[in-house]
């Protein structure tokens, strides 16, 4: 008998690692996987936020939930954490590479608001590369090694709509101060674009190992940004609004479950229609 649609979305008994799991979207993904029966390991560099996430998500426990410290920019730290999860659960079925730095130009230490791309510090570029791209690379290596010699698995790389389109820097210009230099830092869009292509590469590389690799591209999430910025983004989406933080959960459970069994190397865009035009 073929699986029903309901059965395909069920991930009971599956073990999932979510990097950046203590962050806003990480917690949403953890909650969703728990709801559908998965065992979830929140991997995060912040022990404080990791404990907060555990306390917040306890009410959603259908699967098991735990927190593991990891510095995703360190190969030793990643390997140690993955080994600990493997030893505890005996397997790893799902990896969600969600951790990322998304610096706002006006909230970066040592970077003046009136600076420009030409003055963007090399150390900030390198830090983003290490976190957004190298971190996913290291986790794919460590977890992929386990999946390749086992029964396979699923990897989802969380990219961004800005990995598909260039940022419209006009969004960030304020009418009250139109001459002020303002822009989206280069590192986030570039690393997210690279992550999408790494997804394609790994899907092709593990073609015969029963490892499916897909990317998810979320849109900007409304988090009480300034009214002018929100209006600028709303104007550029077909649905006429920014996203809620829970609006990517359906796409995520689809990607990590058997519901997407014939899907690999793909990039699922959930952006309210912004990249259509």
114-123 average pLDDT score: 82
- pTM: predicted TM-score of the whole model, two decimal places: 0.94
Cβ-based neighbours of 195, under 8 Å, separated by 6 or more: 97, 132, 133, 136, 157, 158, 159, 163, 215
Burial of 121 (0-12, 13-18, 19+ CB in 10 A): middle
Q: Which of 19, 14, 260 is nearest to 140 (CA)?
A: 19
- Residue from 13, 152, 139 nearest 72 by CA: 139
d(CA 178, CA 185): 18
Q: Of 36, 120, 188, 201, which is the active-site residue? A: 188
DSSP letter at 232 equals H
Question: What is the residue-averaged pLDDT of the chain?
Answer: 93
pLDDT tens digits for range 187-214? 999 999 999 999 999 999 999 999 999 9
> pLDDT over 70 for what percent of the chain?
94
For residues 153 and 11, give the distance between their C-alpha atoms in angstroms, rounded to a whole number.
12
With 90 as the cut, is the pLDDT of residue 104 above it?
no
- 172 catalytically annotated: no
pLDDT in tens, 223-248: 988 899 999 999 999 999 999 999 99
Number of residues assigned to the chain = 277
Hey, what domains does the chain have and what are their CATH numbers? 5-270 (3.40.50.720)
- Alpha-carbon 83 to chain mean position: 22
């Amino acid at each position: 008998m073929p699986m029903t649609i309901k059965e395909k979305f069920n991930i009971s008994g599956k073990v999932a690692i979510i990097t950046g799991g203590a962050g806003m979207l990480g917690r949403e993904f953890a909650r969703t996987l728990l709801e559908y029966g998965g065992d979830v390991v929140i991997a995060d560099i912040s022990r404080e936020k990791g404990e907060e996430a555990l306390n917040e998500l306890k009410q959603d426990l259908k699967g098991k939930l735990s927190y593991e410290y990891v510095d995703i920019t360190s190969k030793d730290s990643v390997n140690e954490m993955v080994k600990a999860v493997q030893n505890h659960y005996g397997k790893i079925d799902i990896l969600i590479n969600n951790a990322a730095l998304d610096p706002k130009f006006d909230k970066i230490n040592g970077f003046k608001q009136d600076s420009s791309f030409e003055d963007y510090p090399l150390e900030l570029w390198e830090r983003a590369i290490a976190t957004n791209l190298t971190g996913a690379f290291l986790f794919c290596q460590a977890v992929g090694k386990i999946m390749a010699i086992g029964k396979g698995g699923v990897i989802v790389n969380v990219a961004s709509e800005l990995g598909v389109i260039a940022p419209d820097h006009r969004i960030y210009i304020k009418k009250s101060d139109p001459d002020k230099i303002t822009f989206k830092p280069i590192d986030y869009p570039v690393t997210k674009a690279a992550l999408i292509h790494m997804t394609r590469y790994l899907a092709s590389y593990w073609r015969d190992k029963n490892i499916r690799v897909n990317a998810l591209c979320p849109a900007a999430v409304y988090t009480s940004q300034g009214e002018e910025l929100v209006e600028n983004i709303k104007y550029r989406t077909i649905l006429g609004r920014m996203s809620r933080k829970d609006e990517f959960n359906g796409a995520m459970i689809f990607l990590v479950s058997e519901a997407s069994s014939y899907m690999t190397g793909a990039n699922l865009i959930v952006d309210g229609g912004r990249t259509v035009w």
